[in-house]
Amino acid sequence: MTQTAHGVEFNQQLSATPKSAEERAAILANPGFGNYFTDHTAVVDYSVDEQGEGGWHNARVEAYGPISLDPSAAVLHYGQEIFEGLKAYRHADGSIWTFRPEANAARLNKSARRLALPELPEEYFLGAIRELVQADKEWVPAGDGEALYLRPFMIATEAFLGVRAAREVSFRVIASPAGNYFGGELKPVSIWISREYARAGRGGTGAAKCGGNYAASLIAQQEAEANGCKQVLFLDHFNDNAVEELGGMNVFFVMKDGSLVTPALSGTILEGVTRMSVIQVAKDMGREVAERKITLDEWRDGVASGEIAEVFACGTAAVITPIGVLKDTTEFIGSEDAKAGETTMAIRERLLGIQTGTVPDTHGWLTRLA
């Protein structure tokens, strides 16, 4: 069966063995994050013909399962890969919506340009997530703070070991029911300072959402976890230890006058969709927001003097998470007994309210999927 979404035809090759209602209910009772996956995946292929013309084709929804790749596929050797992350929320009336997918589509293409991958027309991106969610709508949880996490990604599939941009590519979307990212009650988290490792370098891929950036962050993340911290903070060691971002989240500071500060985008920081949304929501609430350089020294001195009243991190998976302590073997900034700040929680509740349909969407950020 073929369906049309956003002007693109998706062939429906639905699974012959989907999870039963009982199996699905058991998973949704305690989904965790990234542990389980729905019955289907959306796929669109790209290839370059003999005349050198490239194009996207064969859009389809098929059963979730292993991907068959040649051992010489470019993604396995040269890391030509990018991805995105967004969520589908079930509203009170049972309808299903997602948040700012056009921004994710635009960022995917920004990443594609940096990794020498073909850009994906927005209609394919939006069509793929819509078709997948419609096929797997029963997987969208309805619990407080729960959602269906969507992971669009693009990989170079051409079987070729020469060092050049691949001429065969696959765009895919998979979905995973998600609970609270850090689990349980929302409490301020502890963050480890990475002194030895950098997440990205100038002129590199820091502004792209690609797997290599995350692979490079894992050793620092392991160090953080070994020291009882949930996340790691990366600094620009060649720029006065300027704050960059966490392993997978952007950082915000709430000043004592109620204004917000977040590190300015420098080419080494990912432009988070949640980050840009927090900036707008804060402005809607009458707060000033500055995007500027902020150093580790300013963080330390600001907490000590009270100039910095609250610190939080934001990203698609966790939305907004308060930060209690920043530390390493020589530093201890903040308090392990800190409670989530009022401004942090007010912005979080406003943003989550828009996403889940309990607060009016005055910016047209929501897109209905089912």
Per-residue pLDDT tens digits for 125-147: 999 999 999 999 999 999 888 99
Per-residue pLDDT tens digits for 49-93: 989 999 999 999 999 999 999 999 999 999 999 999 999 999 999
Report d(CA 366, CA 370) in Å as an integer: 12
Delineate the domains of the chain, giving CATH numbers in brackets: 11-180 (3.30.470.10), 189-356 (3.20.10.10)
Q: Report whether pLDDT(8) > 90.
A: no
Q: Report whether pLDDT(336) > 90.
A: no
Bridge partners, 98 (sequence order): 88, 367
Complete DSSP assignment for 237-278: TTTTTEEEEESS-EEEEEETTS-EEEEPP-SSS---HHHHHH
Q: Report whether pLDDT(265) > 60.
A: yes
Element containing residue 175 per DSSP (H, E): strand 168-178
Report d(CA 182, CA 54) in Å as an integer: 42
Q: Work out the pLDDT band at 3, boundaries 50, 70, 90.
A: low
Q: Report whether pLDDT(240) > 60.
A: yes
Q: Report whether pLDDT(352) > 60.
A: yes
